[in-house]
Structure formats: structure tokens, C-alpha cells
Amino acid sequence: MIIVMQPDAGEAEIAAVEAKIRSHGLDVHISRGTERTLIGAIGDERRLDPEMFDPLPGVERSLHILKPYKLVAREWHKASTIVDVRGARIGGSEVQVIAGPCSVETVPQMQAAAAGVASAGARLMRGGAFKPRTSPYTFQGKGVEGLTMLKDAAARYDLPIVTELMDVRMLDTFLEHDVDVIQIGTRNMQNFDLLKEVGKVDVPVILKRGMSATISEWLMAAEYVAAGGNHRIILCERGIRTFETAYRNVLDVTAVAVMKKETHLPVIIDPSHAGGKAWMVPALSCAAVAAGADGLLIEVHPCPAEAWCDADQALSIDEFSTLMTKLRAVAQAVGRSIAPAANVVREEIAVA
């Protein structure tokens, strides 16, 4: 059972609800978000009834939740959640596009990427400062220096930044650099200590689906973040591992429809990692928007052939601009729109 407290509920009112739950032999989990407090009754919910809690001071409403994931379930939160990232709203009628290089490499590369991403109409910029790689001998990212390069390049065009957090020990550094959206990658989807810590901060989190994770496992990972009090969660489907070898991963478009039914959280798609080849990205992107995805996470590089990481799947700036035109048409066909670009600083930046 979930008891939703009113925004102005005080500690005494919260304690009264907790005491009533415990008096019936159940445990309690309290999730203190930025807007309101949610109290979860853990145990045999059949002992409880909403009528026991609804009249209590400070209670907005209470209800039974039958899913193992409770805070992220649509059962208690019928309206779709919209995550606002400095004015870019993810989860509404507009489809947001997040674009940028797989890895932060050089200052000229990042400046050119930011200019291209902004001029094509994307509202957020991605870039990897810390890179999880299969081989320990490949490029692992520029680290803290990369965070600074990403932030500086994106700031020129007022683009919020999205970057991956791999190690809980770097969370404070991410906060010091004002990272706008923390990405939890596929390999860390079930790094529960990491999920617990990002659940304690008021920063939006993109949670990528594990390459072999079920829908339920993915949602339970999101529950870890929500249980800490951070409800600004964006779910990202990036392709799952199957027997097929013709492409990198299988983009599970079905997951978009299923997740829209199961959770109130926004769902975006990463077509770059799904296909693994740049020529597949436009088709997968259009399919994602048509299926109802709330956004796209696309790899774009000024010179894809020279990219230090995942060169095969990165679009050039011209290819990305062409794709954005197609996406606007697809979005319009399904009654949505691509979010309009923010003010763009237009200037020519040479690529070293």
C-alpha cells in the first residue's frame, strides 16, 4: 500500500501514519521527494484498508499497489510524469532529442559538436567523460577534464548536459560540475549502491535498461532510485541482447508500449547503441517516435570516422540535421512535436 501525504504534511502527521502501519505488523518505507512524501507499507497489505488512512491529518490519498514496483507504478500515479530539465520537458507532448558524441575528446571537437547539435534543433547535449569499455585497454574517457569540456561547450548554446556516472565516489564531483542529467548505463542498471545514492539527490536520472534485463527488473531498478526520494527518473531502452548477430542489439520497440502501461515515468530510446551502425539510426529513431517514445538519445560527432569511441554508430552533423527534419514529420503524424530549439549562437567553429 502507498500513502501519499499532502505537500504541507508535517513530521508529526507522517509519524502518525507510520505508527498506524506498524501497529498492524507491517514495515514502513518513507520516500521524501522534493514535492511530497510517500509512505509505503511493506508486508501483507490485506491487513490494511485505505479507509484507515484517508481521514488522517496530512494524508492526500492511500491505495493498494499490487506490483512489486510501487513508487514507479502507474497504479498510484495515473498521470504521466514530466521531467523538466532547465525548461526541456521530457514526458509531455513534445519529443526531446538529446545528442552529442559518445566520448568527450578535445575542446574543438566538443565546440563543433555543440554547435551542430544546437543548430539542428536538439535541446540537450550528451557526452561521455567516463566510459565503461569492454576492454581495459581501450579509451576510458577524459574524466573530470572531460566534464569541464562538455559543460563549457554546451553552455555556449544553453544546452543542459547528460553524462554517465559509473562510480558512486564521483557523484559529488558531478554535483560540483552542475551536471543536469545523470545517466546510469546499461552495465550499472543493477548497481544498487549507485542507484541508492542517485536516489538521494535532486538531479534527473536517465536509467538505461540492462542488455539482458526484463521489464520487471528494469522497473525495480527505477524503484531503487525513487525509494531514495528522487522521482525525476527517465527510462531509456537501448536494445537488448539476443541470438541475432547481424546488428549490435535488438531495439525493443515493444517495451515503449509496455512501459507506458506499467509506469508513469517517461521513456526514451537510444537508437545508436541499439543498431550499432549509423545507417540504422534514422530508421530506428523514426520507429521510436512512432511507437510513442518521449525522447531520443543519439550519438553525433563532427567527424565520425575520427571518433575515439563507437565511430560506426555516430551520425555526422549533416546526417543529424537531416534526421531531425524527418523526425518532425513523424512526430506530427502521431500528434506530437519535436521540441523547438532554444536560442542558438550561430558561428563557424573549425574542427582541429
- Please report which residue ranges of the chain form alpha helices under DSSP H: 11-23, 107-120, 144-155, 171-176, 192-198, 215-227, 254-262, 271-275, 281-291, 317-333
Instruction: Using the CB atoms, write b or e for 233-268: b if 16+ within 10 Å.
Output: bbbbbbbbeeeeeeebbbbbbebbeebbebbbbbbb
CA angle 168, 173, 175 (to 5 degrees): 95
pLDDT band at 232 (very low <50, low <70, confident <90, very high): very high
Q: What is the pLDDT of residue 33?
A: 85
Average pLDDT on 167-171 reads 94
Q: Can you say how many angstroms the Cα of residue 341 is from the centroid of all Cα atoms in its chain?
A: 20
Mean pLDDT of 301-330: 94
* Averaged pLDDT score across all residues of the chain: 92
Under the banding of pLDDT at 50, 70 and 90, the label for residue 234 is: very high
Please report the pLDDT score of residue 68 as a whole number.
Answer: 85
Determine the average pLDDT of the residues in 175-194.
96
Higher model confidence: residue 122 or residue 68? 122
Packing angle of the helix pair 317-333, 281-291 (nearest 10 deg): 30
- What domains can be seen in the chain, in order of their start residue? 2-63 (3.30.70.1140), 83-338 (3.20.20.70)
Q: 137 falls in which pLDDT band (50, 70, 90)?
A: low
71: pLDDT confidence band, cut at 50, 70 and 90?
very high
Mean pLDDT score, 186-215: 96
The model's pLDDT over 86-99, given as tens digits with 9 standing for 90+, comes to 999 999 999 999 99
pLDDT recorded at residue 351:
41
Query: Are 150 and 104 a contacting pair, CB within 8 Å?
Result: yes
The pLDDT assigned to 321 comes to 97
pLDDT for res 343: 52
How far, in Å, are 63, 136, 172, 206 from residue 168 at the CA level? 34, 20, 8, 15
pLDDT value, residue 139:
62
Q: What percent of the chain has pLDDT over 90?
A: 81
What pLDDT was estimated at residue 140? 62
C-alpha cell at 14: 507522517
pLDDT at 347 > cutoff 50: no
